[in-house]
Structure 1
Amino acid sequence: MARRTFGTVLAAVVTLLAVAVPASAAGRPVVTRAALDPALVAGRGANVGFLEQEAENARTDGVVIGPDRSAYTLPSEASGRRAVKVTPGQYVEFTLPAAANAITVRYSVPDAPRGGGITAPLDVTVNGAHRQRMTLTSQYSWLYNQYPFSNDPDAGLLHPDWWITECSCVPAATTPAPVVEKPFRPSHFYDEQRLLLGRSYRAGDKVRLTVPAGSAAAWTVLDLLDSELVAPPRFVPFAANALLFGADPTGRRDSADALDRAISFARRAHLAVYLPPGTYQVNRHIVVDDVTIEGAGSWYTIVKGHEVALGTPDPDGSVHTGVGFYGKPASAGGSHHVHLSGFAIEGDVRERVDTDQVNAIGGALSDSTVDSLYLHHTKVGLWFDGPMRGTKITDNVIADQVADGLNFHTGVTDSVVANNFVRNTGDDGLALWSEKTQDARNTFDHNTVQTPVLANGIALYGGVDNTVSGNLIADPIREGSAIQVGSRFGAEPFAGTLRIKDNTTVRAGTFELNWKIGLGAIWFYALEKDIAADVSVTGDHFLDTTYNAIMLVSDFPVKDKYSITGLKFADLRVDGTGTSVLSARSAGSASFRNVEARNVGAVAVNNCGSFTFPPTGSEFALTDLGGNGSWLAPWLLPNTITCDDRPPVVPPPAPSGW
């Protein structure tokens, strides 16, 4: 089948890719950021309290898997596209690069044969002693089939009338109907788990992860270990202590009503609510307005709940509820002056139901802050339905979501998303979606987004006067880019300015399975409207791109209707592309100034325009403003047509200092 042929070819290609970080020698730790030498991404992304070590750079008697950038494989979803597979009795051993008392392990274990997940042990020892046992699980991973996916590996096609790229057919219109291989399109393999080590260890100490004999998992894949020195629990005096209102820190009793009582008292007394260390069971939304809720730190205060099926659907279409802190809906005036900090929210979402409000943070929050939370196993980490304004989302870790990490949906304005770390989302990592009402004057600044399984690292659907700056986006897996500027999903047209500046993308530019072409690390997509705002891309670095660094597309059915005009690219560095620097599949125009490119795998400019191929040149016009070196000059006036849908992929060498 077509996908299998492509996957085989791409796997063979990417095995030739050089590795940016050398393997550990003599037990010395190799610290990375997005699986790269940190010097290559200095000043970009979130400033986090942990240090990343990839399993493939550690000591092990297991087997390194990858690299691979084809979808639906374990190495393709791993950070850096490589990991280590161990079987019972095998280990991976990391050398601590700095003092630490806590670790996070990113891993994958097999699904149960009929879905639903298994649990499996992992032993943690430090210097051969102080053994602790983690219980890994695949209950929150392993999705299958077509969007919005299934937990059942034996399920038939969810949409029998959809195009199936593996057989180049529409099953409902095909006789005989195709038989798809089951499980069909497995994905979302990884999860992560945190562990306090009980004491602090020094740099140079050895943390060994061992799969014990008798594990229920035939194999365990270990992707990486994050280590950090977590501060002691924080105590907040002169606050409404939730324990005094009946909250249970053991997690045995539901604490939702107790939190409501604490919030009500705190508002009357003009106090904050304090959640001391413990695990608090909450199985519904906690509605917040004009209140501050502080925990002892996200490693110590955990708000955890079950997903609960509703007897009848809510008016918003939800068929489940679960743990989450929600502002009032915008239709009811929204909530204001809400401040949430210093705790974890652990959900229980194992499937994607788009109508469900089972997000960690939701509703409409204006003039509010969300800071230093750990958001895990919910549908979306933070989903805001505006209008709302003036909210700051900072210093959070968002991991293992079924859908987006964060979405500003409909009329979110004057807000900031900064210094957040997002890993393993099932859809866009961070998104602005101007459906019906424009998102305006927002900033996504210095965030890190890694391994979004579906869609994009950072996605912009419409908007006015927004800025995306200083972010680090690595390893998007399929059907998306590191950064997408898209006229899609009913969004309002882009207007005013859009500033995309000083971001770094790593191993982006995925293969679009339906079109069967390679995308770009940054992708402009005019599907429903023109993209004609004042858009500038300045100071960005595109490293080790699988296909194109920049891609501009109007989908073929609308190629003569919509265009992408007036884009300005300046002061960019392109270090390695499998194919082109620029692939243009649209009418329109762009200018280039001081755009440097090296290690380009195919023709530097793949300019198809809108596919009418006039003798005067492509319908997409390129303007050279100087300083671009030799990559651009041959393809200028009369905008030479160099249209190749599928140029051969030439893997670039590993990125290096410029």
Structure 2
Amino acid sequence: MVNLKKLLSVITSFVMIAFLLLGLYVPKVKADDSVNLAKNKSITANSYVQGFVPQNANDGNIQTYWEASSNTYPNLLTVDLGTQQTFNRIVLKLNPSWSTGRTQDIEILGSNDNSSYSTIVARASYYFDPNTGNVVTITFSNKSYRYVRLKIYSNNGANGGQIAEIEVYYDVSSSTGKYEAENAILSGGAKVNFDHTGYSGTGFVDGYWIVGATTTFNVMVLTKTEYTLTIRYANATGSIKTVSLYVNGRKIKQLRLPNLSNWDTWADVSEFVLLNAGSNAITIKYESTDSGNINIDYITVKPKDRGANLPFIKHEAEYASTNASIMQYSVLYRTDIQSEASGRRAVKLDNTGQYIEFTLTEPANAMVIRYCIPDSVDGQGLNATLSIYVNNVHYQDIQLTSKYAWVYGEYPWTNNPADGKAHHFFDEVRLMFSTTYSTGTKIKLQKDSGDNAAYFIIDFVEFENVPAPISQPSNSLSITAYGATPNDGTDDKQAIINCINDAKAQGKIVWIPSGVFDLSGGPITVDNVTIKGAGMWYSVLRGSGAAFALNGNNCRFYDFAIYGNTTQRIDSAPETAFDGNAGTGSIIQNIWIEHVKCGIWVNYPTDGIQILGCRIRNTLADGINLCGGTKNSTVQQCHIRNTGDDAIAIWSATWISNNPSQNNTVKYNTIECPWLANGIAIYGGANNVVEYNIVKDIIAFGGGILVSSNYSCVAFSGTTTVRYNTIERGSSYEWNLNYARGAIWINAAQQDINATIGIQSIEIYDTPYQGIFIEGPYSVGSNLSFNNVYINGAGTYGIEIASNARGSATFNSVVIFGATYGGLLNSAGSNFTLNKGSGNIGW
């Protein structure tokens, strides 16, 4: 099969060379947007060939160059930076159109008086490779000099040293840290080119039609934390293309780069990455499992400004070392199990001896495994073991179950496989190791002969270095003093109730020490009490009675886990971890919740509850619902995954109260893989704010963020604000009504939405269906606006207006790339008005 892009590139190159020889063409060259400390500064040489003066070597034009006089080695080229400057990277360039490579022996020196020079980088041989654009990048620790000198000892391509550009950089962390691809380290066929327009800097990198083509950026940051990495690319092949992303040697993702209109159009994709303080290698590589055929312009790195700050590191199974089969990307609900996986890919171990091996990038003493095993024939759950190895030594067999996964039939589903339509495939298990393993330790999951499930599908693992347990606080009463006994399977509920009653009477804290405590029956009713544990990894309440009915002010919970026993959704059942009226002064902080109906559900007259740093996973309904008149409350820094309804909802439900849920804020949360409904939903109410969240992988029947008048809610009033959120793979299909729902979904379902709805500064990537979807049958009014919305990659339309939509919306700076069917579909015609302001692109 002919590679059309490569063929066109070859033809273009021949034409350009011919025109250059005839003097008819001068390539367009732009100045590098990075801070090049040497550009246009005073520069001298100890010799030069006539016409090839030293000033050519820092004029920003790659077509001009300095060449030293014949056989006058060593050649000296000296740049005066003007003042003493700190720098840590030097880029040397020759004309990328030169087809013959050459090696130059170069020493780099520095001085502050132009008299006494010190070596910065010792003499070494540098090959200027035409296959990588004739660019050499040299990095080193921070140096501080006014004068930078190249001392060239030899050049096997000419009789004197040659430099087209010398560029000097100080790479530091900044909110706009930009790294040009043409200045990166190129290998495997990646090379600099400038045969398209619209790029930044002095060129871009292509060659990604060759397997092995690699661009490596040296990124300097001051603080070890998560950053937002943005890659600017071009792809006009007609389909989504993929390349692999590595950070410090570990593959973290196969990037999906949507098709653009032409090769002169550039677009962005973003990923959140953990970087170390100091130097980091960020690599974009075309591997055999990728489709390649893209161009790279630059990357930017800035501190992450959205989502929860998470203490664990996720390792996707498909990027680990394995001898098993990788399940490829799919959004085929109910058909492909991996359609419910993170990133819609996973690894399947279905033969004895198959394994997945992960290498620790940080010390860790704990692990979470997200997995799927087959269900039992009767639907009650299959139990199986999976073998864990540490550095190839068997560590233990971990117990897995399908009991809390696999539901069937229609909503609210059953546990009967005969009802068909199986879904909700994944569950999780956590493990604390007996020691802390160091960076580089290899952790392997392997299907051994005694591991009796037909298959084990692994989505990912998360490694964490859990701190030591919290000590019992003073002024507290321990539940063990009232007869609760950990880890023995006996019922500790009454002992806990007794401890709570005495703590309230004495004004003391209830203390849950390390261990697993079992509770039967229903929830415990509480108010005006503080309950603390030794940490969410250490103190565990387990069973059907591991739940609290909130009934007043000052309900405060910290640092423990709740593991329920819910296997079927029964909305009337009291199987919510925290439920009811939390009054004023209530806090739920650092609580881990799994296997319940809902995580947290509060309602009127709750006022000002703080839900902070919680992990809510594997539920059969909502993660968190600020329902029926809840006000002035905050959900922040929570991580919510695999919920059976909205991960976070603000629902002004009239069946609870005619008061709106109002003045609530949902911010800095990370949501992944809700297997039903939406990432975040707002149903009516007033002055609620959803900001700085990350929503990923909406599986079915929902959107990334929903604004809706559905479900008998109090009408919208005031201003509803949705801003600074990132949504990835955030739309899904409504399989009962047979239509798709967008990453941003506006749904005037049961009444008009006349209040102000502001959607701003939203990033939407790789959404399987629409980026924005607006539907009726009621009117949206005239106060809906979209500002600074960026959509790259939509399986259908960038914006779709349903045929039953009514009203209008205003759009400013809504940018759409890679929408498969087009930027806009307005099926409502004149019934819905799109007021297009300035800055809109792609529709």
TM-score, normalised to structure 1's length? 0.81
Which amino acid letter does the alignment assign opposite residue 324 of structure 1?
A
1:415 maps onto 2:627 in alignment: no
Which amino acid letter does the alignment assign opposite residue 597 of structure 1?
I
Out of 401, 411, 422, the position equivalent to 1:186 is 422
Q: Name whichever structure is richer in strand by fraction.
A: 2
Distance 1:569 1:33 in 2: 30
The 5-angstrom pairing of residues 508-587 of structure 1 reads 508-554=730-776, 559=777, 561-585=778-802, 586-587=805-806
Distance 1:571 1:191 in 2: 37
Query: Residues 23 and 56 of structure 1 are in contact (CA less than 8 Å); yes or no, is this contact kept in structure 2?
Result: no
Q: CA deviation at 1:374?
A: 0.6
Task: Compare 574-583 and 190-199 and name the one that shifted more.
Answer: 574-583
Give the corresponding residue for 1:337. 554
Q: CA deviation at 1:33?
A: 12
Query: Residues 699 and 732 of structure 2 are in contact (CA less than 8 Å); yes or no, is this contact kept in structure 1?
Result: yes
Q: CA deviation at 1:624?
A: 2.1
Q: CA deviation at 1:185?
A: 1.2
Distance 1:414 1:21 in 2: 44
Give the corresponding residue for 1:326. 549
Distance 1:19 1:431 in 2: 34
Which amino acid letter does the alignment assign opposite residue 700 of structure 2?
R
Q: CA deviation at 1:43?
A: 2.1
Q: CA deviation at 1:544?
A: 0.7
Task: Compare 122-131 and 255-264 and name the one that shifted more.
Answer: 122-131
Distance 2:243 2:312 in 1: 20
1:539-583 Cα shifts (integer Å, max 9, x gaps): 1100111111100011xxxx3x54453211111211111222211
Give the corresponding residue for 2:486. 249
Give the corresponding residue for 1:37. 271
Query: Residues 22 and 57 of structure 1 are in contact (CA less than 8 Å); yes or no, is this contact kept in structure 2?
Result: no
Structure 1 residues 21 and 385, CA gap change in structure 2 (3 angstroms)? farther
Query: Residues 338 and 368 of structure 1 are in contact (CA less than 8 Å); yes or no, is this contact kept in structure 2?
Result: yes
Q: Percent same amino acid at aligned positions?
A: 34
Distance 1:599 1:114 in 2: 45
- Secondary structure of 1:244's counterpart equals helix
Q: CA deviation at 1:22?
A: 4.0
- Secondary structure of 2:407's counterpart equals coil
Query: Residues 24 and 59 of structure 1 are in contact (CA less than 8 Å); yes or no, is this contact kept in structure 2?
Result: no
Give the corresponding residue for 2:839. 627
Q: CA deviation at 1:516?
A: 2.7
- Secondary structure of 1:261's counterpart equals helix
Which amino acid letter does the alignment assign opposite residue 381 of structure 2?
G
Q: CA deviation at 1:354?
A: 1.0
Give the corresponding residue for 1:602. 821
- Secondary structure of 2:250's counterpart equals coil
Give the corresponding residue for 1:400. 618
Q: How many residues matched?
A: 553
1:278 maps onto 2:495 in alignment: no
Q: CA deviation at 1:287?
A: 1.6
1:49 maps onto 2:311 in alignment: yes
Query: Residues 70 and 76 of structure 1 are in contact (CA less than 8 Å); yes or no, is this contact kept in structure 2?
Result: yes
Query: Residues 552 and 564 of structure 1 are in contact (CA less than 8 Å); yes or no, is this contact kept in structure 2?
Result: no
1:81 maps onto 2:318 in alignment: no
Structure 1 residues 262 and 536, CA gap change in structure 2 (3 angstroms)? same
- Secondary structure of 2:417's counterpart equals coil
Which amino acid letter does the alignment assign opposite residue 247 of structure 1?
A
Task: Compare 236-245 and 427-436 and name the one that shifted more.
Answer: 236-245
1:166-188 Cα shifts (integer Å, max 9, x gaps): xxxxxxxxxxxxxxxxxx21110
Structure 1 residues 33 and 277, CA gap change in structure 2 (3 angstroms)? farther
Q: Which runs of 5+ in 2 are unaligned?
A: 1-238, 257-269, 274-300
Out of 567, 584, 601, the position equivalent to 1:383 is 601
- Secondary structure of 2:717's counterpart equals strand
TM-score, normalised to structure 2's length? 0.64
Distance 2:413 2:610 in 1: 32
Q: Which runs of 5+ in 1 are unaligned?
A: 1-15, 156-183, 308-321, 329-334, 633-658
Out of 483, 498, 501, the position equivalent to 2:723 is 501
1:220 maps onto 2:456 in alignment: yes
Which amino acid letter does the alignment assign opposite residue 606 of structure 1?
L
Query: Residues 245 and 253 of structure 2 are in contact (CA less than 8 Å); yes or no, is this contact kept in structure 1?
Result: no
1:347 maps onto 2:564 in alignment: yes
Distance 1:339 1:251 in 2: 27
Q: CA deviation at 1:375?
A: 0.1
Out of 292, 302, 327, the position equivalent to 2:530 is 292
The one of the two structures with greater contact order (alpha-carbon pairs below 8 A, sep at least 6) is 1
Distance 1:471 1:83 in 2: 25
The 5-angstrom pairing of residues 424-443 of structure 1 reads 424-436=642-654, 437=658, 438-443=660-665
Distance 1:19 1:341 in 2: 43
1:450 maps onto 2:672 in alignment: yes
Distance 1:197 1:542 in 2: 38
Query: Residues 253 and 319 of structure 2 are in contact (CA less than 8 Å); yes or no, is this contact kept in structure 1?
Result: no
1:383-431 Cα shifts (integer Å, max 9, x gaps): 1232211100010100100111111120100000001000101111111
Give the corresponding residue for 1:465. 687
Distance 2:255 2:373 in 1: 22
- Secondary structure of 2:504's counterpart equals helix
Distance 2:747 2:243 in 1: 31
1:142 maps onto 2:389 in alignment: no
Distance 1:20 1:587 in 2: 42
Query: Residues 341 and 371 of structure 1 are in contact (CA less than 8 Å); yes or no, is this contact kept in structure 2?
Result: yes
Q: CA deviation at 1:212?
A: 1.8
Distance 1:130 1:276 in 2: 31
Q: CA deviation at 1:204?
A: 1.4
Q: CA deviation at 1:337?
A: 0.7
Give the corresponding residue for 1:301. 539
Out of 569, 588, 594, the position equivalent to 1:370 is 588
Which amino acid letter does the alignment assign opposite residue 548 of structure 2?
F
Which amino acid letter does the alignment assign opposite residue 453 of structure 2?
A
Give the corresponding residue for 2:706. 484
Q: Over aligned residues, Cα RMSD in angstroms?
A: 1.9
- Secondary structure of 1:194's counterpart equals strand
Distance 1:625 1:503 in 2: 22
1:111 maps onto 2:375 in alignment: yes
- Secondary structure of 2:318's counterpart equals helix
Structure 1 residues 225 and 435, CA gap change in structure 2 (3 angstroms)? same
Query: Residues 387 and 451 of structure 2 are in contact (CA less than 8 Å); yes or no, is this contact kept in structure 1?
Result: no
1:283-323 Cα shifts (integer Å, max 9, x gaps): 13122211111100011100001x4xxxxxxxxxxxxxx32
Out of 47, 67, 70, the position equivalent to 2:329 is 67
Distance 1:570 1:345 in 2: 41
The 5-angstrom pairing of residues 119-134 of structure 1 reads 119-129=383-393, 131-134=395-398
1:52-79 Cα shifts (integer Å, max 9, x gaps): 1110000111111121112112010000
Between Structure 1 and Structure 2, whose CA radius of gyration is higher? 2
Structure 1 residues 200 and 130, CA gap change in structure 2 (3 angstroms)? farther
Q: CA deviation at 1:433?
A: 1.2
Query: Residues 275 and 296 of structure 1 are in contact (CA less than 8 Å); yes or no, is this contact kept in structure 2?
Result: yes
